[in-house]
Structure 1
Amino acid sequence: MRVLVTGATGYIGGRLVPRLVEAGHEVRAIVRRPERLRTVPWARDVEVVGGDLTDAAAVDAAMRGIDTVYYLVHSMGGRGDFEDVELEIAGNVAESARRSGVGRIVYLGGLHPGEGELSRHLRSRVRVGEVLMSSGVPTIVLQAGVIIGSGSTSFEMIRHLTEVLPYMPAPRWVRNFIQPIAVRDVLHYLVAAARVPERVNRTFDIGGPDVLRYGQLMNGYAVEAGLRQRPIAALPVLTPWLAGQWVNLVTPIPRRLAVPIIESLQFDCVARDHDIDRVIPPPAGGLTPYRRAVRLALERERAGEVETSWQNTEVVGAPSDPLPSDPEWAGYRVYTDVRERECSAPAASLWSVIEGVGGTNGWYSFPLAWAIRGWIDKLAGGVGLRRGRRDPARLRAGDAVDFWRVERVAPPGDRPGFLRLRAEMRVPGRAWLEMSAEPAGQGSRYRQRAVFFPRGLAGRLYWWAVFPFHGIVFAGMANRITSEAEAGPSSTGAEVTNR
């Protein structure tokens, strides 16, 4: 079967694609930035096409010859008109699928109560499902609640709230009932949906075998993580907005992701029927209980086997354009900070230090300054420095590294090893950080360049305000990276976390 996947760079899409390939399907993925998929393990097994889902012509081109479409895109924050944008995108996909003779659309929506006012994000998901089901193309809408898996936003929020707070003052929604589902079970339903008979056109609730209060989810995590269970006090005064600020400050989850999740927890979210069992049988061995799903997620993280993560979700409001080539800077105000160092270690050793930057390894200089910058970003509603990275040793294009995004990564070979990071912290302008490792004689040469395009007067004042720290932060970073490479592997790793 020929399958088109939208949202292949997302948390679910990035895990679904290789499973569709394994199931024997021919997979095509449409993404705005094809370079983000060039280094994923399954890149050679699929056809990747570039295109924006708001562009009807691009959607039509991607839809040619397709039997089944997976619709896995959804906005978690950002512009105030996101509901209109999502309906426009859904309409483009639905109309194109109808014109192209597609036999099935599969959409992953959100579990929601049958009555009462929904949050904007849940309401938008419901409306998108309605647009797809009214397209004339048979559509299956799978409505899932809290998804538990290594790297999922919901799992990370539960984990950090539980680990950080020995006592949890919480909003009333911690008493609401939730039906979590393991990510492996979500993927089971998604893969199987491609082969459901075409006459089926409806929504299906999906959930795991446990119905728990949100507070029980937190203490269930505590048990599996070897922590003491947390006393939880439900307070009537915390609104979703205030709770979002609280989650933003005490966890790595940015406000724009925390608020929609919290808004969706204002009511009980439990599957209202189990009709899905008549169409798609449960996985062999049954659905995954909540605590086992937590245990599996922790095992995957400890083994460094996180396939996809919330960390790599695009940050709305962050610079979205790649760094222009130097000649295109003409006519723009651009500030740069360039550092070069000779290194006695080979380029491969220098590159291993560069590729390990961020996360638990830190930034190799003035950790207090980096920590303060991270807290300032969190207070401004950004992702902060605690977002970490998907893999402790390897990077690929599109990965998040704390408050940076990997724009380009190329290990050393015929050319120097090169890493470019695009800033996603809140700054009045656009910023990048580049690092490279080039063979030079018996050793190597390290080159580091920070680039900043200021926005208005605020951007210029920002650059000059932080300029005095560059001599400490950037120079120290260049010195420490080269010294780490020269010292060898024994000096890297756990010790770097203190830098």
Structure 2
Amino acid sequence: MPDAPLVLVTGATGYIGGRLVPALLRAGYRVRTLTRHPERLAGRDWSGDIEVVRGDATDPHAVREALRGVAVAYYLIHSLASGRRFERLDRTAARVFARVAREEHVGRIVYLGGLYPEGEDLSPHLQSRREVGEVFLDSGVPTAVLRAAVILGSGSASFEMLRYLTERLPVMVAPRWLRNRIQPIAIRDVLRYLVGVASLPPDVNRSFDIGGPDVLTYRDMMQRYAAVAGLSRRVIMPVNVLSPRLSSHWVGIVTPVPHRIAKPLVASLVHEVVVKDDDIRDYVPDPPEGRIGFDRAVELALQRIKEAAVLTRWSSASLPGTASDPLPGDPTWAGGSLYVDERTTPVRASPASLWSVIQGIGGENGWYSWPLAWSVRGWLDRFSGGPGLTRGRRDPARVAVGDALDWWRVEDVQELRLLRLRAEMKVPGLAWLELWVEQDPVGRTLFRQRALFHPRGLLGHAYWASVAPFHAFVFGGMQANVALAAERREREGGAGPERGGASGPAAQSDATSQSAA
């Protein structure tokens, strides 16, 4: 697209920027990024489709190189640290960027700031965002400042704080700011506005409030999140003694959101943040289906975990085209809790022999580890209303997506590579078992096994803590016995699955051999 307008995105390694870049590419723009760490973009699907300038936003030379020939410049650099130093850095970077943008005749600056009430003493976080917006509006370059409150999308710091507080605290003593009104907005609508304002008329130089269709208190948001996520209604008891400072420490203890991030977020929540003027819709019209409401935004943010398409790790998983899913650059605490038990064993057999054992697992072929433990767990599941181990297999040697394997459902099959199973047993959360066939750099066959669990509420965390001590025996035994079965198949050169597992003698003899070793 040599004739397409060139846009610059700063902050492309961050939450918003990492989602904005592919949205702009889809809209037909050429994209350049300015980043101090280009290597952090290497894992993105679009990294080969953009120009990258290495540099810091406070360095005029790097900023000039990045802005040369740019039609629209997106400024998405924010700090969630506290203290005067971060405010000075934000001010310095904004002034450098604005001056160079004017000198390079950039057509427009777009800045995403925070929504705040007029006439109130603001937190340092919101005060800095207001000041940066004013720097750009006074720069002489046409500017659109978008002001948003809580952004709803997995990976957003505000959303993750809401998620963790709601999921981990069925009963809580809460600060009074939970009664303040907030107008949250879905990440998809934020991106739609960001892309849309790139084509504003050149005489538009102003701020726009952006928000979703719902105005809620933080307490309402927690209750509605719980309902969408399938959790019980939360018991929330507001008290007046929890100051923002104490509240931020409380958030830092209850959630994995770091204190340095929780502190400015909580300080911002002491204000009511409601859209006063939504005339941005005159410039960027709503889609036919309207703006995304709170409940639907939460559903979209949880879509990956509900659809159970777990890839390498939850914080780096992404469904194509799903703007609210976590991306590789998201913080490690984003995306909710995901417990992982991962084990890898070298196998003296070909990938084909190992795969034949893996795809024959379950049913009469068994689970290659602790037959009595699997049977007891199956009966407990049946007693609680689950399928237990009664469903068996459709075919003794082959699996297909959608097949039932005892209390598992086949979710993904990649021939000679991966079998992913989703648990349908009664557990307080979502669980998967992944069985991988891999090879190391010297050509050895590897059997990699991952058990993953996304807890639902406090009971889910307690459940994982109760079963994790047994994984060394259950999954460790499975590792050893599947490897032995594959090696035996390799020696015999036979076809069809090994028999034994949880329902026959082979697993027990293999386990004995493993114990002796």
TM-score, normalization by structure 1: 0.65
| Contact 1:15–1:307 (Cα < 8 Å) also in 2 | no
| 1:440 aligned residue | 442
Change in Cα spacing, 1:487 to 1:159, as seen in structure 2 (3 Å) is farther
> Secondary structure of the equivalent of 1:269?
coil
Matched, 1:236 2:254: no
| 1:413 aligned residue | none
Q: For 2:16 and 2:350, locate their aligned partners in 1 and report how far apart those are by CA, in whole Å.
A: 36
| Contact 1:107–1:142 (Cα < 8 Å) also in 2 | yes
Change in Cα spacing, 1:286 to 1:38, as seen in structure 2 (3 Å) is same
| 1:4 aligned residue | 8
| Contact 1:185–1:283 (Cα < 8 Å) also in 2 | no
Matched, 1:200 2:198: no
Q: For 1:290 and 1:110, locate their aligned partners in 2 and report how far apart those are by CA, in whole Å.
A: 18
Select 2:90's aligned residue among 83, 86, 93.
86
Q: For 2:288 and 2:112, locate their aligned partners in 1 and report how far apart those are by CA, in whole Å.
A: 22
Q: For 1:55 and 1:347, locate their aligned partners in 2 and report how far apart those are by CA, in whole Å.
A: 55
Q: CA RMSD in A?
A: 3.2
Question: What is the deviation of 1:282?
Answer: 1.9
Q: For 2:164 and 2:97, locate their aligned partners in 1 and report how far apart those are by CA, in whole Å.
A: 37
CA distances 1:80-105 after superposition (whole Å, capped 9, x unpaired): 40000001111111111101000100
The amino acid of 1:27's aligned partner reads V
| Contact 2:33–2:51 (Cα < 8 Å) also in 1 | yes
Select 1:225's aligned residue among 226, 229, 235.
229
| 1:312 aligned residue | 330
| 1:496 aligned residue | none
| 2:129 aligned residue | 125
- Matched residues, number: 349
Matched, 1:30 2:34: yes
Q: More displaced, 78-87 or 190-199?
A: 78-87
Q: For 1:75 and 1:313, locate their aligned partners in 2 and report how far apart those are by CA, in whole Å.
A: 14
CA distances 1:158-181 after superposition (whole Å, capped 9, x unpaired): 111111111121100000000000
The amino acid of 1:208's aligned partner reads G
Matched, 1:286 2:304: no
Q: For 1:346 and 1:125, locate their aligned partners in 2 and report how far apart those are by CA, in whole Å.
A: 60
Question: What is the deviation of 1:226?
Answer: 1.1
Select 2:180's aligned residue among 176, 180, 184.
176
> Secondary structure of the equivalent of 1:160?
helix
> Secondary structure of the equivalent of 2:220?
helix
| Contact 2:123–2:268 (Cα < 8 Å) also in 1 | yes
Question: What is the deviation of 1:78?
Answer: 5.6
1:305-454 paired onto structure 2 within 5 Å: 305=319, 307-308=325-326, 312-313=330-331, 343-344=346-347, 438-440=440-442, 442=444
Q: For 1:206 and 1:51, locate their aligned partners in 2 and report how far apart those are by CA, in whole Å.
A: 30
Matched, 1:46 2:50: yes
Q: For 1:98 and 1:135, locate their aligned partners in 2 and report how far apart those are by CA, in whole Å.
A: 7
CA distances 1:250-283 after superposition (whole Å, capped 9, x unpaired): 1121111111111111011101112212222123
The amino acid of 2:189's aligned partner reads D
Matched, 1:73 2:73: no
Change in Cα spacing, 1:3 to 1:168, as seen in structure 2 (3 Å) is same
Moved over 2 A (4+): 300-315, 341-349, 437-444, 483-489
Q: For 1:342 and 1:295, locate their aligned partners in 2 and report how far apart those are by CA, in whole Å.
A: 38
Matched, 1:95 2:99: yes
Structure 1, unaligned runs of 5 or more: 316-340, 350-436, 447-475, 492-499
Q: For 1:57 and 1:29, locate their aligned partners in 2 and report how far apart those are by CA, in whole Å.
A: 15
Larger radius of gyration: 2
| Contact 1:11–1:310 (Cα < 8 Å) also in 2 | no
Select 2:279's aligned residue among 257, 262, 275.
275
Change in Cα spacing, 1:195 to 1:242, as seen in structure 2 (3 Å) is same
> Secondary structure of the equivalent of 1:264?
helix
Select 1:58's aligned residue among 49, 57, 62.
62
| 2:158 aligned residue | 154
Q: For 1:41 and 1:310, locate their aligned partners in 2 and report how far apart those are by CA, in whole Å.
A: 10
| Contact 1:68–1:106 (Cα < 8 Å) also in 2 | yes
Q: For 2:285 and 2:136, locate their aligned partners in 1 and report how far apart those are by CA, in whole Å.
A: 24
TM-score, normalization by structure 2: 0.62
> Secondary structure of the equivalent of 1:207?
coil
Question: What is the deviation of 1:44?
Answer: 1.5
Select 1:115's aligned residue among 106, 116, 119.
119
| 1:19 aligned residue | 23
CA distances 1:71-130 after superposition (whole Å, capped 9, x unpaired): 011001166400000011111111111010001000000000112100000000000000
**Percent identity among equivalent residues?**
49
Q: For 1:226 and 1:127, locate their aligned partners in 2 and report how far apart those are by CA, in whole Å.
A: 41
